[in-house]
Chain A
Amino acid sequence: GDSVTQMEGPVTLSEEAFLTINCTYTATGYPSLFWYVQYPGEGLQLLLKATKADDKGSNKGFEATYRKETTSFHLEKGSVQVSDSAVYFCALERGADGLTFGKGTHLIIQP
C-alpha cells in the first residue's frame, strides 16, 4: 500500500539556519504530494503541494520539488524563524482516497 516516510524528529535549529526535512514515498501511479504544518493546539494546514513530477511547490519561503526518480519530496527553507516551530507532515494523495500522511517531524527553532 501507499506509505510516506519522514525523517524522525525533533529537529532543532537556530534562527536563520537552513532547513531540510526529508520525505520519501511509496505509491503506485502518480500521486500528488503535500506538506502540511500543524501549530500547537491546531489542526493541519496545507503548506504547499505538487501534483506532477518536477513540479516545485512553494509557500512562505518553504519549497519542495517532486522527484519521481528518487520518490522524494524534501521540504526546504533557506532561513528559518522561531515562528516556523511546528510539526510538519508530508503526505500523498492518489485518486480520491484521501491523504496518506507521514508521522510528522517536530521542528524547533531556537532564537
Chain B
Amino acid sequence: DAGVIQSPRHEVTEMGQEVTLRCKPISGHNSLFWYRQTMMRGLELLIYFNNNVPIDDSGMPEDRFSAKMPNASFSTLKIQPSEPRDSAVYFCASSSGGDSPLHFGNGTRLTVT
C-alpha cells in the first residue's frame, strides 16, 4: 500500500501564477479531502469528495481555488491566480468511509512570492 501520494512536495511560484496540486488517494478509498495547514489557522478543511462528487466546498477560501476529481484515483487542487497569502502546506487525505480513519499524504509545501 503506497499510501496517499501528493505531488509536488514543494512548489515555489510567483504571485499571479497558476498552481496545481495533485493527489492520488489510496486505492479503494471513496472519500477524498483537501486540507490547508498554516501556523495561524492550523488545519482547515477546504473541500471533500465522496465517490468523485464534491460534497462540501464551503471551506474553499475564494473563487481562485478550485478542485476536481475526474476519477477515483486522482484529484487536483488549483489556485489561479496565486497570492502570497496562499503559502501553506496543503494535505490530501482519503478514507473508505464509515469508521475508517483518514490517511494523509505527506503534503505539498506551497510558497508564493
Contacts and interface: CB of A to CB of B under 8 A. Distances in A.
Contacts, number: 50
B104 A45 contact: yes
A43 B91 contact: yes
B42 A98 contact: no
B56 A46 contact: no
B43 A104 contact: yes
Interface residues on chain B, size class: 20 to 34
B42 A51 contact: no
B45 A100 contact: yes
B interface: dominant SS: strand
A44 B102 CA distance: 9
A104 B31 CA distance: 24
24 contacts: A32-B99, A34-B101, A41-B106, A43-B104, A43-B105, A44-B93, A44-B104, A45-B104, A49-B101, A89-B42, A89-B43, A96-B50, A96-B55, A96-B97, A97-B55, A98-B33, A98-B45, A98-B48, A98-B102, A99-B33, A99-B45, A101-B35, A101-B43, A103-B41
Interface of A: 32, 34, 36, 41-46, 49, 51, 89, 96-104
Interface of B: 4, 31, 33, 35, 41-43, 45, 48, 50, 55-56, 91, 93, 97, 99, 101-102, 104-107
